Structure formats: C-alpha cells, structure tokens
Amino acid sequence: MNPKLHIVSFNVPYPADYGGVIDVYHRILALYKMGVQIHLHAFTYGRPPALELEQCCSQVTYYRRRTGLASACRRRPYIVVSRDKQELIDNLNRDDAPILLEGLHCCSVLEHIDGRRVMVRAHNVEHEYYRRLAAAESNFLRRLYLASDARKLKRYESVLTNAAAVFAVTAADMEHFRSIGCRNVLLMPSSHRDDTVVSTPCEVLSPDKAYALYHADLSVAENIEAVQYLVDNIFPHTNVKFVVAGRNPSTKLTAMLKMFKNVTVVTNPDNETMHSLIENAHVQFLFTNFNTGLKLKLLNSLYAGRHCLVNSAMVAGTELGSLCTVADTADEQLCQLKRLMHTPFTEHDIDERRNLLGSLYSNEANAKILLSQLSCF
C-alpha cells in the first residue's frame, strides 16, 4: 500500500518561482513519483489556488491566513499566529497519516496535536534570518516589526522539540536544532527544479555574447542588499556584461541598475526565461551577507549553469564551495570574474558537479531521507 502523508505548506507552492515554494513543490513532485499519496494543506498568501497541484496530490485543501494587526500584536510570531487555524487541525485529525510541516510558520499544529507523527522541514533558523532582515531593512516601521518577530521566533522555536523529526537544510542548521533539544535532526538539503545536472560545456564566448548573471527575488531585503553591493563595488569597475534578473524589483532599484551601460535588467521572468538565463550565462555571480540556510539560487546555478563565483556566506554550512570559485573582497571578485569570463566550462567541471550533487543534493536522495522517517512510524 502506498504511504500517505499530510504536507502543510506556508504558501501555495505553485508556481515554483521563489526559494521556499521551490523547495516545497519539488519535494512534493519527488514524493509523488515514489508513490506517496499526499494531502496538501496550503495557506493562500498573495497566491491563488493552483490546479497543477492536483496532478501530484491526492487532495489539496486551502486556508486563508488570519492577517492584520490583531495577529501581529501577539506573543507568538506573526508568521505562526496568522496560520493557526482550527479548520486545519480538524482536517488533519480525520486520519492518522504522518504530517510534514513546511517551516516554523506552520508549527502551531504541534501545539494542538499530541502523540501524532508530526515532522518539520526547517527552511532556516528563522529568528536569525529575521534578525538579518531587520538589519538590512531601510523602512523604520518594517525594521521594528522584523526585529520584534525575530525575538518572538527565538522564544518560539523550542516548539520544534515536540516534533518526531526535524529536517535541516545545512549542517550548521542541523547542529543548531540539536543544541536546543530536538531529538531527531536530519540533514535534508533543499529540493529544486533539476533532477540531473543539465549544464553544458562552453568555450570562451565573444564579449558581445558572454554575460554574467545575478538572479534573485529582488523584493527581498537580503537580495536588495546584494544588488547594492554589486552597484557599489562591481558594476562600475568592469566592462563585463551583466544581467540582473528577478521578481518585483522596485522602481528605485531598476533605475539605479539602468545607470550602467553594461547592465541589463530582466523583471519578473517566467520559469523558462529564468532557466534560459541561467543556462546561457558564462558566470553566475552570487553574493549574500546572510549565511543562513541553503541558497536555492546556488543549487539552480550549479545544476543548470556554468561557472559560479560566490562569497563565503553563499556556501556556508554546505559542501558546495568545492564546485565554486569563492572570493570575499571586491578586488578578488573582479579578478576572478575576469578570469572566469575567459575560462572554458568543460565536461570535467560537469562531472565534478554530477558526483557531488547526485549524492548529496538530488531531489530523489532528499525524498528517500523523508521516506526513511515515514517507515519509522
């Protein structure tokens, strides 16, 4: 008999067009291919129901978040309070199938269901991520909110000790959850679009065809800060053509980028356009000051792109540094960018990726980690 599993998602995981929902959607696909019957419970938060999810789930149920000031002014974190729904608990209690909660966001379930097989996918150490978001936020009121919720999240995360298993995205996150008393913590890197490495070899391209790519959700403070770094330290000091692509950049950010003749902005590309940009860039330039979690844009770049130039924070807590060129100062990055733009991307480079990614970061391997825990119950 095929195993059954409830998955509670913090948002509607289709289309899979930004970090967290990419992880959720491709985990669902991998489990579906292995015969798992999934009842998906998803909160609608700026994203409508998606018929595509019914193709890989036996049942899909949607819930509205309880948003607004009343939810924000609680002792528990806003991302948790706004998803605390009795209707969800009632639906989960209709059978005894195991439950996977996607993120600390959904962990109010652990407060209401006792003695049940409930697991948590921890996408980040959330309080640390929110603390860094607060530090990067320019809007005073939003900075206050993020700092407040960072404190609430730190207090609240002890709820994870009630989970039957916690799946962490990096070794560093895994050690953190063990340190707060979680009894069964496993490493399960993020799921992603590509089941196999699809990067293609390429000789050095002519300057009019070669470009470097930075891609991200451009409405998120972490990524806005990264673009500002490129504007201040990279773009003015190189003739390399750059493409900056991503979701919902502000008018201010777009105008700032258009000041550079060597920079092209691609706003809100669909999945196919983004994939094409990644495949055809000679260098992926990936920078962050947030050494939290696992960056899905890095996995996407390694599975589908060519050379990856990153800083240390981008690969912190992972095994992926060996597949990238790591440089932490602007001078080093400019030097390595020039070198990589004149370096062929070879079959040997692709083989190295297949060997490491296939063993540690494939969707199938991740799904098997989760299935091993289902069989424990």
Angle 24-157-111 (CA atoms, 0-180°, nearest 5)? 85
pLDDT for res 45: 84
pLDDT of residue 354: 93
Mean pLDDT for the stretch of residues 156-164: 96
pLDDT above 90 coverage of the chain, percent: 72
Average pLDDT, integer, range 286-313: 89
Read off the pLDDT of residues 98-108 as tens digits, 9 standing for 90 and up.
999 999 999 99
Predicted confidence band at 69 (pLDDT cuts at 50, 70, 90)? low
pLDDT at 248 over 70: yes
**Contact at 8 Å (CB) between 28 and 361?**
no
Q: Per mean pLDDT, which range of 65-79, 168-182, 261-275 is the poorest?
A: 65-79
pLDDT of amino acid 279:
96
For residues 140-166, give the mean pLDDT.
Answer: 94
* Mean pLDDT, the chain, whole residue set: 92
pLDDT category, 73, cuts 50, 70, 90?
low
Q: What is the pLDDT, as a whole number, of residue 293? A: 67
pTM of the full structure: 0.87
The pLDDT of residue 71 is above 60:
no
User: Is the per-residue pLDDT at 10 higher than 80?
Assistant: yes
Q: Which domains does the chain have, with CATH numbers?
A: 4-192+361-374 (3.40.50.2000), 212-359 (3.40.50.2000)
Both tokens of residue 257? 């980028």
Q: What's residue 193's pLDDT? A: 84
Burial class (CB in 10 A: 0-12, 13-18, 19+), 45: middle
Mean pLDDT, range 47-52, rounded to an integer: 94
Report the pLDDT averaged over residues 246-257.
Answer: 94
